[in-house]
């Protein structure tokens, strides 16, 4: 932290007016950039511990035009990620360790940058300027590549168009890495009916909302738990995670952060609305629901509209970015549950020589996140194809992809097993001749607790509702004050 004599706001603005004016003048031959904004971001990191959580989701080291500023920014992130205080000596040490201290200007340059600013106010705005200019530079680069493709020409116009679209789509995908969206806002976009917001802050365990499962888990998920929920593709892990998020937000008025790397926020909101109303999503999407169903949809919208569920559907995320966003949400609204769909789509924060080591780093970071924020973290995970090669197809811990680290870091490992996915009624009857006809487990699912660090393992049976892709207790119990579906 750099200290100096007191400076008034007027003095600060006067000292920096010429520099900002110079920054705005076009510089022939140079792509869009703003060195002053870059320096302001670095200074904020040196001046304010809270700046790290605010800038990390916005700007990356490669977004900096001046390479030395990018090195310094990356060093700041590395220091903060280790839980150390970001100061001039710690950043200088990190730069020296990376072999960039002299090239970055040494400690004198860090002192100079930190001395230009006396506050971290506006750091998010400065970070967006840096990120925006970086996007413009990438756009210029893509335009050059497209121009090169066009000059080369050739008989295959469709190929040139496809490559050009791919370059632009890559830019759009990177630029679209968004932030939280309140569930009520996503629902309001569909029904155009604003509702009040609600906050919740739970002091005890987060209940799953499934009676037998809560009993097996001794009341629900504990704060600091890392919960892995795994199933084969199409087994319903996303649906169950949405159920768990809904049950926390509505059943306990808890605040939920939902990170979806696979599906868009609007699609998730529609799935939750379909499950809550008991109306097929295809009928909702096409507007083919009846008047009676319309009434259910409106009631469900009112019910979900107050749920403090915040959805981030960024397609590319790392655990440090999730941590920064969760810190902000916790400060603004409180936080009771974090849901990540799903683990294998996350990116590691650093370099890893193998994918297994990267997954190990991710699972360990998620556990650290749960302990740091004191909330349960539920992360979806994929099962390997090994489960398909044996009979019965009941999952086990070794079926987890890159299972060693995931199994080690998790406090609870849950599997979804639906026998009706593998056996048709006649096949099931042939294998169970002693069972009466019609006993095929249609619409039933087993939630298997394969690992429970602080309690028993076991299995519970719940109902799978295929038309709304949701899970329910076998014994439906209406919530107080709600007339149900």
How do residues 363-385 score in pLDDT, each as one tens digit? 888 998 898 888 999 999 888 88
Would you tell me which CATH number, out of the four given (3.40.50.300, 3.30.70.270, 1.10.150.80, 3.30.360.10), belongs to the domain 181-472? Answer: 3.40.50.300
Residue 337 φ then ψ, to 5°: -155, 140
b/e 216-254 (16+ beta carbons within 10 angstroms → b): bbeebbbbbbbbbbbbbeebbbbbbbbbbbbbbbbebbb
CB 258 within 8 Å of CB 310: yes
Please state the rounded mean pLDDT for residues 16-39: 65
Please state the rounded mean pLDDT for residues 245-274: 89
pLDDT of residue 10: 39
From start to end of 171-292, where are the E strands? 181-182, 226-231, 256-260
CATH class of the domain defined by 9-135: mainly alpha
Per-residue confidence band for 8, with pLDDT thresholds at 50, 70 and 90: very low
Q: Is a pLDDT exceeding 80 seen at residue 261?
A: yes
Does the pTM surpass 0.75? The reply is no
Q: Could you tell me which of 177, 200, 223, 210 has the C-alpha nearest to residue 378? A: 223
pLDDT of residue 357: 81
Q: Which of 67, 262, 427, 479 is catalytic?
A: 262
What is the crossing angle of helices 35-47 and 123-152, to 10°? Answer: 140
Joined together, the tokens standing for residue 83 give 């839980």
Give domain limits for the chain.
Answer: 9-135, 181-472
**Is position 262 annotated as part of the catalytic site?**
yes
CB 394 within 8 Å of CB 417: yes
């Amino acid at each position: 932290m750099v200290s100096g004599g007191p400076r008034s706001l007027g003095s600060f603005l006067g000292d920096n007016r010429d520099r900002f004016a110079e920054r705005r003048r076009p510089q022939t031959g140079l792509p869009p950039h703003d060195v002053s904004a870059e320096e302001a971001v670095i200074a904020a990191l040196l001046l304010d511990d809270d700046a790290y959580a605010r800038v990390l989701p916005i700007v990356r080291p490669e977004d900096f035009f001046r390479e030395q500023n990018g090195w310094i920014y990356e060093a700041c992130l590395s220091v903060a990620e280790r839980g150390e205080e970001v100061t001039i000596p710690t950043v200088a040490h990190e730069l020296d360790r990376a072999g960039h201290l002299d090239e970055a200007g040494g400690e004198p340059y860090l002192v100079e940058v930190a001395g230009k600013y006396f506050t971290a106010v506006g750091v998010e705005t400065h970070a967006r300027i840096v990120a925006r200019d970086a996007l413009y530079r990438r756009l210029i680069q893509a335009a050059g590549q497209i121009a090169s493709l066009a000059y080369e020409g050739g008989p295959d116009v469709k190929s040139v168009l496809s490559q050009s679209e791919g370059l632009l789509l890559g830019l759009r995908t990177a630029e679209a890495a968004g932030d939280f969206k309140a569930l009520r806002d996503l629902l309001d976009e569909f029904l155009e009916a604003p509702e009040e917001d609600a906050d919740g802050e739970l002091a005890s365990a987060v209940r799953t909302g499934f009676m037998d499962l809560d009993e097996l888990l001794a009341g629900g998920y504990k704060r600091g738990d890392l919960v892995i929920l795994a199933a084969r593709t199409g087994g319903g892990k996303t649906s169950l995670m949405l159920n768990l998020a809904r049950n926390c937000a509505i059943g306990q008025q808890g605040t939920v952060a939902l990170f979806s790397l696979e599906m868009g926020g609007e699609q998730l909101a529609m799935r939750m609305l379909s499950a809550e109303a008991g109306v097929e999503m295809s009928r909702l999407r096409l507007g083919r629901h009846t008047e009676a169903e319309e009434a259910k949809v409106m009631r469900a919208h009112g019910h979900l509209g107050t749920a403090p569920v915040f959805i981030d559907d960024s397609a590319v995320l790392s655990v440090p970015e999730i941590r920064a966003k969760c810190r902000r949400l916790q400060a603004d609204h409180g936080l009771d549950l974090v849901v990540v769909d799903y683990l294998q789509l996350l990116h590691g924060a650093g370099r890893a020589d193998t994918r297994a080591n990267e997954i190990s780093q991710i699972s360990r970071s998620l556990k650290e996140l749960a302990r740091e924020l004191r909330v349960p973290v539920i992360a979806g995970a994929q099962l390997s194809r090994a489960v398909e090669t044996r009979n019965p197809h009941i999952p086990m811990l070794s079926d987890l992809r890159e299972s060693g680290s995931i199994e080690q870091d998790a406090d609870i490992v849950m599997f979804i097993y639906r026998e009706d996915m593998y056996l048709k009624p006649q096949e099931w009857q042939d294998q169970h001749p002693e069972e009466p006809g019609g006993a095929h487990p249609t619409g039933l699912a087993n939630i298997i607790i394969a690992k429970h660090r602080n309690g028993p393992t076991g299995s519970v049976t719940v109902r799978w509702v295929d038309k709304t892709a949701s899970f329910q207790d076998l014994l439906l119990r209406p919530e107080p004050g709600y007339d149900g579906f």
